[in-house]
Structure 1
Amino acid sequence: MLDQFLKNKTAIVTGAGQGVGQGIAISLAERGATVALLGRSLDKLKATLEIIKQAGGKSLAIRVDVKNPQDLVAAVERVVAETGGIQILVNNAQEVPLGTLLEVDETKIEAGWQSGPMASLRLMKLCYPHLIGDGVIINLASSAGMRWDMSGYGAYAAVKEAIRSISRAAACEWGPEGIRCNVIMPHAMSPGLKWWTENRPDEAAEFIASIPQRRIGECKQDIGDFVSMLCSEQSRYVNGQTIALDGGQARVS
C-alpha cells in the first residue's frame, strides 16, 4: 500500500488523457488525491479514469479545450462543486508550434500561446482563491529553451519560457499566502516525444546520447512520482524553482 500523503487533496491535471499528464494524474491518485482529469478527448480521459479506478483511486473526467476561457471557468466550478475545493493544479496541456522562424505557421504559434501560458495563467487565477493556505501549482516548461541551437524550436521555446516567467511571478506574489509554484521540464516517452523519435530518428538518437543516463524518462515513475513528492509536505520549502527531469541533460538557470 502506497503512502496516501495526498489524501483529502483535490488536484486538477490538464492534458490528463495521455503521456506525462496521464502519468502525473495516476501518481497523484495513487497517493490519495482526488484527480480532476481535463482534456480535449473524453475517450482518452476515460481511459485514464479507468486506470485510476482499477487501482482504487478517485477521479472525474471533464472535457475541456484549454484555449477556451469559458471551458476553464466551468471546469473549475464543477471541480469545486463536486469535491469541495482545489489544493493542487498541474498545467500540462500544450499545443506545440515547431518549425523555423520563416516556416512556422502563426496560427500554430497562437495556439501554442493560448494552450500554454495563457491557459496556465487563466487556470492559476481561477484556482487561486481555493489554493490559498496550502496550495501547490506545478507548471510544465521545456528544456527546448536551453538548447544551444534553437533552429526550429524558437516558437515552442518562447511559449514555454513564458510559462516559466509566469510561474516565478506566482511564486513571489502568492508565496506569502501559502501557495507554492514550481516548474518542471520533463523528458518522458509521451505520444509527442514518441512521434518525434520515430519521425526524426537521427536527431532523436543524438538527443538521447546527450542524456547522461542514456534514456528517456517514464511518464509515471520518473515524472508523475516526482510531481507527487513536489506536492507533498516534505517539499513545503520548494518554491519558484525550475527543475529538469531529464536524466541530467539540461543545466537550468
Structure 2
Amino acid sequence: MMSETSRLEGKVALVTGAGQGVGRGVALALAREGAAVVLTGRTESKLRSVAVEIADRGAKAHPVVGDVGRREDVELMVAECVAVFGRLDVLVNNAQSSVQRLLKDTGEDDIDLAYRTGPLATFRAMRAALPHLRAEGGSIVNFGSSTAVQGDPAFGSYAMAKEAIRGLTRTAAREWGRYGIRVNTVCPAAFSPAADTFRDADPERFERFVAGIPLGRMGDPEQDIGRAVAALVSDDMAYLTGATLMLCGGRTLLA
C-alpha cells in the first residue's frame, strides 16, 4: 500500500544490494512513498522476490542482476534504469562485500574486496548517474557504517572502505551542489544477513553490541532505515547535503 504522503511520486530510484537486508528495506520504503525502484544485486531470485513485494504495494520495480565490484555491471545498472523508466532521480549505494578479521590477520586481498565493492563501486555508480541526476537535480545516499565510526575490532578492511565512502560523499556534495545534486551518508546499525551471521556465530558478543545501543535494539531495515532514507531524498530535506546521518540508535554517542 502506498504512503499517504507519496513524497516521491514520479521519481525513479536505483538501490544497490536491494535483494535483502537494508537494501531491501530501503527499496520497500522508497516504493511506499511512490518511487519506481530499480533493484540491483547478484542474486536474481532475491531481486524478483522484492520486486513482487513492491508490485503488491502498488508501485513499480525492475530487477537488474549485477555485481557492483565490476565496472561494466555498475554502468549497466544505471543505463538499464534510464532505459526502463526514462530517468534517474535517486541513487542509493548500499551494496558492500567484506570479511571480518583482526588487523594482524587482514590481507591485501581483504582490503581490495572491501574497496572494490565499497568506495570504488560507489564512485563508479555516482559518476555513471551524474548526467541523469543533473537533468532535474537529484539525490545520492551512500552507506557508511557505525562500525567504522566506532572503530570496532575485526572490521579493519570494512572500516577503511566505509570511511573512504564518507570522504567521497563530502567531496561530491561540494562539487555537485551547483547541479542541484545532494549527496549524503547514512551510517546504520540494523538487522541484515551479516548481522544475523554475527548474532548466530557469537551470541554473547552480539548481546554486548546491542546493549551498547541507547535505544536498546537493532534497527529495522525498512521502518528505521528505509523510511529515513525516503525522507532524506525527498524535498523535505532539500537543504541537507554533505551530512552523515547516524541511524544507529545512538551507539556512536560520545561517553
Instruction: Find the counterpart in structure 2 of residue 192 from structure 1.
Output: 194
CA distance in 2 between counterparts of 1:107 and 1:34 reads 37
Could you give the per-residue CA deviations for residues 229-253 of structure 1, whole angstroms, max 9, x where no partner exists? 001101001110011101111138x
* Match among 47, 50, 75 for residue 48 of structure 1: 50
Could you give the per-residue CA deviations for residues 52-105 of structure 1, whole angstroms, max 9, x where no partner exists? 011111000000111111111122111111111100000000002311122124
Structure 1 residues 137 and 102, CA gap change in structure 2 (3 angstroms): same
Q: How does 1:161-176 map to 2 (within 5 A)?
A: 161-176=163-178
TM-score normalized with structure 1 length: 0.96
CA distance in 2 between counterparts of 1:134 and 1:102 reads 45
CA shift for structure 1 position 217: 0.6
CA shift for structure 1 position 201: 1.4
Between 195-204 and 21-30, the greater mean CA deviation after superposition? 195-204
TM-score normalized with structure 2 length: 0.95
CA distance in 2 between counterparts of 1:106 and 1:42 reads 30
Q: Percent identity?
A: 39
CA shift for structure 1 position 108: 2.5
CA distance in 1 between counterparts of 2:147 and 2:223 reads 22
CA distance in 2 between counterparts of 1:62 and 1:169 reads 29
Give 4+ residue runs of structure 1 displaced > 4 Å after superposition: none
* Match among 98, 107, 122 for residue 109 of structure 2: 107
Q: CA RMSD in A?
A: 1.2
Instruction: Find the counterpart in structure 2 of residue 25 from structure 1.
Output: 27
CA shift for structure 1 position 180: 0.2
The answer to whether residue 90 in structure 2 is matched with residue 79 in structure 1 is no
* Match among 204, 207, 210 for residue 208 of structure 1: 210
The answer to whether residue 243 in structure 2 is matched with residue 241 in structure 1 is yes
The size of the alignment, in residue pairs, is 251
Q: How does 1:83-232 map to 2 (within 5 A)?
A: 83-132=85-134, 133-147=136-150, 150-232=152-234
